[in-house]
Amino acid sequence: MLDQQPVSVETPIQPTKNLDAYKALLEVDAHERNFKKRSGYTGAYVASVLIPPIGIYYCVKYLFFSDGTSEDIKAGVISLALTLASLILTIWLSASMFKQLLPGDSSGSIDSLKNLTSPDSQKEIMKLYQ
């Protein structure tokens, strides 16, 4: 027969419980979740400024449908403030633009229209187009 060595059955290796490593993993996980939340807040802020009505959605989402942490409440209030500021700025800029487009004195605009429709002006415009 072949020379066989006795097989020894070892006891299975028991894993050591390392509480420090477990705490470190929990801390890394918490930081990762916090980072993802903050990036979500940044997206909400950008959307609130660029597309103001969407900021109301984020305000409602963070104030009423989140965990209720102080960071969520703060993000909801900031989204609402940015939305309102953006709306006010947009309305103000639109109003000032329309004031520039629409003449304040209609008699001046009628005179300039008469000048453009006169035959001499039309001849000059035709020369420019040629």
pTM metric for this prediction:
0.55
One-letter amino acid at 41 equals Y
Judge whether 56 and 69 are in contact, CB under 8 Å. Answer: no
Phi and psi (nearest 5°) for 107? -65, -35
Q: What is the mean pLDDT of residues 113-119?
A: 74
- pLDDT tens track for 15-60: 667 777 778 778 877 777 766 666 788 889 999 999 988 999 999 9
Closest to 77 (Cα-Cα) out of 50, 44, 51: 44
Mean confidence (pLDDT) of the chain: 80
Residue 28 or 91, more confident: 91
Judge whether 78 and 70 are in contact, CB under 8 Å. Answer: no
Indicate whether 85 pLDDT > 80: yes
Residue 9 or 75, more confident: 75
DSSP category for residue 4: P
> What is the crossing angle of helices 70-101 and 19-50, to 10°?
20
Q: What are the residue boundaries of the structural domains of the chain, listed by start?
A: 35-105
Closest to 60 (Cα-Cα) out of 76, 72, 45: 76
Indicate whether 91 pLDDT > 60: yes
Q: Note the pLDDT of residue 59.
A: 92
Indicate whether 93 pLDDT > 70: yes
